[in-house]
Structure 1
Amino acid sequence: MLTETGSIPIMGDATTDFTRMVGRAIAGYETHLNPLNGEGEVKPGQLGLLQIRVYYGSTFMGYAPDTSGKEKWVDTG
């Protein structure tokens, strides 16, 4: 699960600075940022496509997205 997909009231309290927390994967998940044009690397300040994958044995809550041909990476949209 990513911080983007969790509920703010559940994942933090009144003192949490979410502007510094959004985008960090929590235990059991790995993230990768691909450039929008598919070439090179995403540099700080540039936009990119966020992808996630779970470590072996972890699951997505309530569903399993299709990962065929994607090396188990799932686009977050």
Structure 2
Amino acid sequence: MCVLFVVIGAILGGILGQLLMKVDALAGIMPYLVTTYPVFDITPVTFNLYVIQLTLGLAFAPNLMSILGIVLAIVLFRKY
């Protein structure tokens, strides 16, 4: 359940950051909050099984707003 909270917090934090980019009052600070920082990137690997072609890869590049969402999700999870 905690992992679900963390993933949803990261997604909602990233979405909130993108929405707040449009606010003129926050124009000076928002580029710093929505800049992504690549943590790891696993290049896609393609498996051709002749019936289907499967491509798998994973990248994790959070921004500060998504990290804030993760922290808030953990606090909310511990509280309830």
Choose between structure 1 and 2: higher helix proportion.
2
Larger RCO, structures 1/2 (Cα 8 Å, 6+ apart): 2
Task: Please classify the TM superposition score into its range, dividing by the shorter chain length.
Answer: under 0.3
* TM-score, normalising length: structure 1: 0.26
The structure number with the bigger radius of gyration is: 2
